[in-house]
Amino acid sequence: VAQLIAGNWKMFKTAKETISFCSALRARLEPVEGVDVVVCPPYTSLDEAVGVLAGSGIEVFAQNAHWAAEGAYTGEVSPPMLAELGVTGSLVAHSERRQLLAETDESAAQRIGGVLDAGLRVIACVGETEVEREAGETEAVLRRQVEAVRAAVEAGDRPRLTVAYEPVWAIGTGRTATPEQAEEAHALIRGILDVPILYGGSVKPENAEELLSQPDVDGALVGGASLDVESFASICETAASLSRL
Ligand code: 13P
């Protein structure tokens, strides 16, 4: 099975920057073989990304979506609006949204339902904070978060669900989980919900191989290193070479 490498751009790249990045990424990776590649630009760049990447096999996901198809929700964007653009999925409940934007397990479950109802795929993010890890609560936190995700997804929709394990203390800090820490968390998650599980948190070309080689790591959700064509492409190539083994 091919690994999935998803680039979460967060609030980086204007629409113009997206066009040049996506053209360069496409030229660098094509033909994309042995790895599933996804980019997650900001809303304002989605249309451009879909246009430039059309026919390349590289998919475009949003970083978030509301649960309703439409309604009086000022500032929000709905799953059918994304689907019409040619976006094929969305991240849900990234830790930055949980920490800074009041995302909860309940709102995450609602969003997952809305995104799946629109026919899109979901990457649902989970992960413990440093305080939780140090208090020995990692397992309890992951169990609670993953069970909320599982409860939100009907069995028939499972093929469109991916989970991303992103320990909060490893995001944007340069502190990667060790391959053993990642594997331990992934195995725990898989015991609750058996879907593809991505690792996220300071994934770089230098550490991608050891993380992606773990038996329960099915890909990566890449932040900072996804903003540069060469480093993102290099991680995608590492994943492709592993899936050929
Ligand atoms: P970094 O790769 O920058 O640590 O970000 C990880 C992340 O949050 C991806 O969603």
Model confidence pLDDT, tens digit, residues 78-134: 999 999 999 999 999 999 999 999 999 999 999 999 999 999 999 999 999 999 999
Looking at residue 183, what is its pLDDT? 97
Ligand 1 probe mutation, 103, 130, 165, 202, most atoms within 8 A of CB? 202
71 lines ligand 1 (CB under 6 A): no
Query: What is the model's pTM?
Result: 0.97
Q: Which atom of ligand 1 is nearest to the CA of 96?
A: 8
Q: Give me ligand 1 centre to Cα 78, in Å.
A: 24
**CB count, 10 Å around CB of 38?**
23
172 lines ligand 1 (CB under 6 A): yes
223 lines ligand 1 (CB under 6 A): yes
Looking at residue 38, what is its pLDDT? 98
Ligand 1 probe mutation, 8, 39, 101, 125, most atoms within 8 A of CB? 8
Ligand 1 probe mutation, 103, 166, 175, most atoms within 8 A of CB? 166
**Which of these, 38, 37, 40, lies nearest to 10 by C-alpha position?**
40
Q: 84 to each of 17, 107, 120, how far by Cα in Å?
A: 22, 23, 11
Query: CB neighbours of 130 closer than 8 A, spacing ≥ 6?
Result: 168, 169
Kindly report the protein residue whose alpha carbon is nearest to atom 7 of ligand 1.
223
Q: Which residues are catalytic?
A: 94, 166
pLDDT digits (tens, 9 = 90+) for 194-230: 999 999 999 999 999 999 999 999 999 999 999 999 9
Q: Give me ligand 1 centre to Cα 71, in Å.
A: 31
Mean pLDDT of the chain: 97
